[in-house]
Structure 1
Amino acid sequence: MNDTNGLVSGILSVADVFNIYAILLLILGGFFIWALTVALNNGSKRLMEKIPARRFLILQISTLTTFALYIFGTIGLVVGVLQPPQELLFAAAGSIAVALGFALKDVVASLVAGILLLFDRPFRVGDRVSFGDTYGEIVSIGLRTVRLVTLDDNLVTIPNSRFITDVVSSGNAGELDMMVVTDFNLALDADLATAQTLIEEVVVTSRYAYLKKPVSFTLEEIEVAHTLAIRLRTKAYVLDVRYEKAFQSDIVLRGTALLQKHSIARPKPVLS
């Protein structure tokens, strides 16, 4: 009899908490949180267009604020509207934890990983990163996934948990500028000093170059098409990561033309 009365009392407690008025407030509150985050993202996009030099900072603040709105807004909404009894709150939390642990293991792992990424910050919104065979710019760090846009303009979605266990490299680490590496293959008997001078001239006169950081060169003997050659590697910084490929294309186009103009020998493949 006591067990039956306890069950009835529990059902009535749950019914008191989840009444029509409370459910309506939850729906309205959830819509408000969603609308607020959408407005925040739209506002940050307009602000980035007006202040492009602070694009990364704006994206990072927007991401942090979105995280806070979703996490604390949802907790505050549930507790504030439902105002559940302490016993029901503990029981619900335990049940949810068990259910999530078994049924949503991967999702929970991604949620926890998203929080870790927020504080550990191995990369930031706006960074150019390499993850496995994927290379692109981080456009959002969400509660469950990270989205990046490749140089072919494909949107790639990766679960947060992957970034905790796999290796990821960031090309600019939160900075607007980034090193761009460009290679030129020269013949063994080429005038290397002249070639380096010509390529340096191309780099420093490029409209995409960030000249507050040094331009450097390395020379290495390699094999190209079954013949030995000298690889002239140029390391220079682009003023904005969005111009990475435009900068590299500019160096290759004008550099190749100058090398041809000054008759700098290039490697010739050995015909079998």
Structure 2
Amino acid sequence: MTHFYNRIVNYFNNLDIEGIFDLVISRGVQLIFTIILLSLLRWFAERLVSIYFNRNNISEKAKQRHLTLKKLLDNIIQYTYYFFLGYSILAILGVPIATLLAGAGVASVAIGLGAQGFVSDMVNGLFILLERQYDVGDMVTINDYEGFITNIGMRTTVLQSVTGAVHFIPNRNILEVTNESRCPRRTEVDLVIDPDVNMEKLNAVIHETVEASLPNHDLTEAPEYYGVCRDLDGRLVYRVRFMCINDHQWDVETYYYELLTNALAKNGIEQPIVLSTKQVTTR
């Protein structure tokens, strides 16, 4: 017991406390300096990206493209920052990184397989950007998911559905893309009418009301008056078709339904109240 005690005492007596303290202080200062330096470089890079892409003299479509590239560059800066931060910390602490990687064995294989998926994500993401398949803010359908693109990263594309659900889709899994934001969108206003209505008067009221609302900056083309037809439920309707700026179709539809319904009521043209697809009454 005494021998064991003496060995412990000799061990602590032989410790270079001053050297250990100096080493801790030195490594600590290096760590703090490295973290501050890398953080400043990251802030500076993100600031340059933000200044470049937040210009005001660009078109609305160009803004979407700029937002897409900005988010991607921010993503690259973040990955680069964490890589160099982790590498620098290990190097300062004296961890032999090259030796660890060379002797990792099975771990190296696992890392290689993981890296293979990462590289595949990056390559697919690069082709998505080069081919401009979609930008941030676009309404798309990717595989079986539908929603708005909120972020395009090195590994994943983030899509938010109209219900608020957020989908993180690895770029290598993106097989089919339907972009609904590239061209004007069509919307139709179907006004249910009575078979006994004065068609000439109805047609005149609708034409005058719609024409009086023009120009409408949400429309890309002049409205098309399809006239009297039947909808999918077999109801007799008067149909007007509008081609709208993308994502404005719902506003256009709501606006013209209200406008035309009020115009018909003001001119004494009654619209049937549909109780079901097989039962119709007149208001």
The two structures have a TM-score, normalised by structure 2, of 0.57
| Larger RCO of the pair (alpha carbons < 8 Å, separation 6+) | 1
After superposition, what is the alpha-carbon deviation per residue over 1:170-227, rounded to whole angstroms, capped at 9, x for unaligned?
2332x8xx42513314337363744762564366344x4244x444455653343xx4
Q: 1:157 to 1:118 in 2, by over 3 A?
A: same
After the TM superposition, which residues 94-105 of structure 1 pair with which residues of structure 2 at under 5 Å, given as runs?
A: 98-100=109-111, 102=113
Q: Does 1:181 align with 2:187?
A: yes
1: CA distance, partners of 2:172 / 2:261: 41
Between 1:179-188 and 1:73-82, the stretch displaced more is 73-82
1: CA distance, partners of 2:110 / 2:141: 35
Question: Who wins on radius of gyration, i.e. which is larger?
Answer: 2
The residue type equivalent to 1:135 in the other structure is G
Q: Does 1:255 align with 2:260?
A: yes
Equivalent residue number for residue 5 of structure 1:
none
After the TM superposition, which residues 109-148 of structure 1 pair with which residues of structure 2 at under 5 Å, given as runs?
A: 109-131=120-142, 132=144, 134-136=146-148, 138-148=149-159
The answer to whether the 8 A contact 2:156-2:168 is kept is: yes
The answer to whether the 8 A contact 1:196-1:232 is kept is: no
Q: 1:60 to 1:218 in 2, by over 3 A?
A: farther
2: CA distance, partners of 1:93 / 1:122: 40
The answer to whether the 8 A contact 2:157-2:171 is kept is: no
**3-state DSSP of counterpart to 1:56:** helix
2: CA distance, partners of 1:80 / 1:117: 33
After the TM superposition, which residues 11-160 of structure 1 pair with which residues of structure 2 at under 5 Å, given as runs?
A: 27=35, 31-32=39-40, 34-36=42-44, 38-39=46-47, 43=51, 47=55, 53=60, 54-63=62-71, 65-66=73-74, 69=77, 91=102, 98-100=109-111, 102=113, 109-131=120-142, 132=144, 134-136=146-148, 138-149=149-160, 154=164, 156-160=166-170
2: CA distance, partners of 1:125 / 1:94: 41
Query: Any unmatched runs of 5+ in structure 1?
Result: 1-18
Please report how far the alpha carbon of residue 78 of structure 1 lies from its aligned counterpart in structure 2 after TM superposition.
Answer: 9.0
1: CA distance, partners of 2:261 / 2:151: 38
Identical pairs, percent: 16
Q: 1:204 to 1:70 in 2, by over 3 A?
A: same
Equivalent residue number for residue 243 of structure 2:
236
2: CA distance, partners of 1:112 / 1:142: 12
Query: Any unmatched runs of 5+ in structure 2?
Result: 1-26, 92-97
Equivalent residue number for residue 218 of structure 2:
209
2: CA distance, partners of 1:119 / 1:28: 35
2: CA distance, partners of 1:124 / 1:38: 20
Q: 1:21 to 1:114 in 2, by over 3 A?
A: farther
The answer to whether the 8 A contact 1:67-1:142 is kept is: yes
Q: Does 1:171 align with 2:190?
A: no
**3-state DSSP of counterpart to 1:204:** coil
The answer to whether the 8 A contact 1:185-1:266 is kept is: no
Equivalent residue number for residue 271 of structure 1:
279
